[in-house]
Amino acid sequence: MAFEFTDANFQEAALETDKLVVVDFWAEWCGPCRMVSPIIDDLAKEYDGKAVIGKVNVDHHSGVSMKYGVRSIPTILLIKNGEVVEKHVGATTKAVLEQKMAAHM
């Protein structure tokens, strides 16, 4: 299961780690988000210990969403050393995400 990022833990879990971080901004009512969700869960299992992969529910944690200007979901951010290195808006495939991740690992 993917890590659950919150407004409270985002600084420590996403910005203060030396690992690549993949953050999926989503909501339960979002159809494309439901398509991406199992991909994020699979990546979290496969990259356990190598990367931090998780989700932010935009309905429950709007602070992080506002900080990063998330206006459309799903939005996926790749963060390295506390900085956003890649941003993807909209549904995507596992292969595309793995390719983006590989470029920053």
Per-domain boundaries in the chain: 3-102
Report yes or no: 105 and 46 within 8 Å, Cβ to Cβ: no
Catalytic-labelled residue, pool 30, 44, 73, 76: 30
Determine the pLDDT at residue 1.
Answer: 79
CA quadruple 101, 96, 60, 64: dihedral sign: positive
Determine the pLDDT at residue 27.
Answer: 96
Report yes or no: 91 and 36 within 8 Å, Cβ to Cβ: yes
- CATH number listed for the domain at residues 3-102: 3.40.30.10
Catalytic-labelled residue, pool 20, 21, 22, 33: 33
DSSP-derived letter for residue 37 is H
Q: Global pTM?
A: 0.95
Is 2 one of the annotated active-site residues of the chain? no
Mean pLDDT computed over every residue of the chain: 95
Per-residue pLDDT of 4-36, as tens digits, reads 999 999 999 999 999 999 999 999 999 999 999
Is 71 one of the annotated active-site residues of the chain? no
Per-residue pLDDT of 62-79, as tens digits, reads 999 999 999 999 999 999
